Amino acid sequence: MRKQEIIGYSMVGVAVLLVLVGTVGFTVEGEITDITTPTFPERTFFADDPLPEQSLAVFVSATLTLKWDRDDVYVVIADEDEKNTCESQPPGLFNQGGSNSCGPFDTDVVASGNNGQDGLVWEVEKGTYFAGIGTLNQDGLPEGTAVDLTYSVDLKAGFATYFVFALIGIGGLAYSRVE
């Protein structure tokens, strides 16, 4: 074999390997413990800091799976505008007459879950998002003072990444044909 063929077929092999690794992806897991449970029913309390931004959305696809250890607590993910809207409303105006505003059944939140066993799944999007926590228990205080969250983030190659891998493979194939 000539030098060009070896290099070219090696590039094709690397491209195929990268496609396989990108398709399988990898998962990052973790746990956040002892988050203070809200004591005001049907009100969402948001984190002060936003979630890490997905700035490489074209190259990397990320899926967040979040579960928690309590069934009387809900978790929502909302964009910055929805967070500001929810925080600007006085507590006495929430859910009077069965409103779904700023809770797990609000259609304006990006993702929500009201059952810790099922949790929530969110395809991470580009932008600034905040996590919020609240309780649906209207009979007084929640069952405990803290909640533990477990999360996993599945990272896989995005469309643009596959395009780059294809270019590497095509370039390798073309280079192997050079006389």
What is the predicted pLDDT for the residue at 108? Answer: 84
Nearest to 133 by CA among 144, 96, 152, 124: 144
Q: Which CATH architecture has domain 27-156?
A: Sandwich (2.60)
55-114 per-position pLDDT tens digit = 888 899 999 999 998 888 889 999 988 888 888 776 655 544 445 567 778 888 889 888
Whole-model pTM: value is: 0.79
What is the token pair recorded at 19?
A: 């496609």
What is the token pair recorded at 56?
A: 């490489």
20-64 per-position pLDDT tens digit = 999 999 999 999 988 887 777 777 888 888 888 888 888 999 999
144-164 per-position pLDDT tens digit = 678 889 999 999 999 999 999
Other Cβ atoms less than 10 A from the Cβ of 138: the count is 8
Helix, strand, coil percent values for the chain (each to nearest 5): 30, 30, 40
What is the predicted pLDDT for the residue at 167? Answer: 95
For CA atoms 26, 31, 32, 37, the dihedral sign is positive
